[in-house]
Amino acid sequence: MTDATGLHELLAGADELLVVCHNNPDPDCLASALALGRIAAAAGIDDRKILYSGDISHQQNRAFVNLLDIDLLPFDPALVQDRAADTLLAFVDHSVPGANNRVPDGTPVDIVIDHHPADDVAARFVDHRETAGATATILTEYVHALDVELDATLATALLFAIRRETLGFLRGVTRAEYDAAGRLHEHADIDLLNKLSTPSVTGATIDAIATAIENRKIRGASLITHVGRTTDRDALPQAADYLATLEGVETAIVYGIVDDAIHLSARSTDSRIHIGDAIREAFETVGSAGGHREMAGGEIPLGIFADYTTDDTQLLAIVEQIVTARLVAGLNLSVEEDEDRSERE
């Protein structure tokens, strides 16, 4: 039995599918959820829901949902905990209950399709390929193998997701991504792809990136900075992408306070560092963090700073001190920043 056949048979025996996205879903997660929903429809499931938690604040992600008209519902724990026996629970682009999602720990999961590093992945159907450049690549293979109709909306969503996840086929890309792109391109809406690739940027995003530039501290080839408190969580990865291009910088880490948590985004081209492992080890005792060799993220509840949450100035100072100390230890950096270099740049 092939993986595609196994997935189809599991879906064909169910009446409902709940696809849970990870927190603050990105195009790879959203396109994969859309594709799994189409596969489920072809298997005879009429009742399909895509659930998400957090925000869709990145301008590209908002454009992705709006232009492709993806139907999303806010996550409700009762839907997954009290589901009927013939209702399947699926994770795409994440794999463990409670890790970057709001599904309670220990909740049984039926389907997991993911490419992110993770331990203890358990479900009735698991396709966990850390070698894949994108989860959308895996779903494209299933769409093709099961002969699911590939219309312009689905093809555009999957192609954009693969392109975005691999930074234009430059990061973590494998032959499978090129094969998938070849299949998708002939069905995709190229005008829509162009619109998705050039969304407008908000003032909040520009302000956050400017703050990150101003607050940067450099130690060797590593740059650590923060955006303070912001309403735009997705400005963090954009700032990290930008600052990672600074001459002499191989690792850029940007963090900030969003609502009741510290969010963190990291990028690295340093072959000596697996940034996902480094970030996970630095913050696993106080929050959720991890990712790939070249990119990672994390979230730390502000509960551990409860004594300081009434004074933002004091809170930011404490957060900067603790987060920087953990990063310096985790990445084995010099305690002192390269002040002269920061001033020159």
Q: Are residues 150 and 167 in the same domain?
A: yes
Q: Are residues 132 and 172 in the same domain?
A: yes
Non-local (6+) Cβ contacts of 229 within 8 A are 256, 257, 258, 312, 316
Query: Of the residues 166, 197, 228, which one is the last residue of a structural domain?
Result: 197
Query: Of the residues 150, 179, 197, which one is the last residue of a structural domain?
Result: 197
Q: Are residues 211 and 171 in the same domain?
A: no
User: Could you tell me the CATH number of the domain that includes residue 299?
Assistant: 3.10.310.30
Query: Of the residues 197, 230, 259, which one is the last residue of a structural domain?
Result: 197
Residue 232: what pLDDT?
A: 86
Q: Are residues 183 and 219 in the same domain?
A: no
Residue 336: what pLDDT?
A: 72
Q: Are residues 172 and 220 in the same domain?
A: no
Q: Are residues 264 and 326 in the same domain?
A: yes
> What are 16's two structure tokens?
């409902």
Q: Are residues 136 and 257 in the same domain?
A: no
Q: Are residues 52 and 136 in the same domain?
A: yes
Q: Are residues 27 and 52 in the same domain?
A: yes
User: Could you tell me the CATH number of the domain that includes residue 41?
Assistant: 3.90.1640.10
Domain count, the chain: 2
User: Tens of pLDDT along the chain (345 residues)?
Assistant: 469 999 999 999 999 999 999 998 999 999 999 999 999 999 999 999 999 998 887 778 888 999 898 999 999 999 998 899 999 999 999 999 999 899 999 999 999 999 998 989 999 999 999 999 999 999 999 999 999 999 999 999 999 999 999 989 988 899 999 999 999 999 999 999 998 988 778 888 899 999 999 999 999 999 999 999 998 888 999 999 999 999 999 999 999 999 889 999 999 999 999 999 999 999 999 998 998 888 899 999 988 776 666 778 889 999 999 999 999 999 988 777 665 455 545
Beta bridge partners of 297: 265, 290
Give burial (CB, 10 Å; 0-12/13-18/19+) of 166: buried
Q: Which of 234, 233, 243, 246 is nearest to 212 (CA)?
A: 243
Q: Mind listing the pLDDT tens digit for each residue in 89-124?
A: 999 999 999 998 999 999 999 999 999 989 899 999
The whole-angstrom separation of Cα 112 and Cα 108 is 11
Residue 334: what pLDDT?
A: 79
Residue 170: what pLDDT?
A: 87
Considering the entire predicted model, what is its pTM? 0.79
Range of the domain at 285: 203-344
Residue 2: what pLDDT?
A: 65
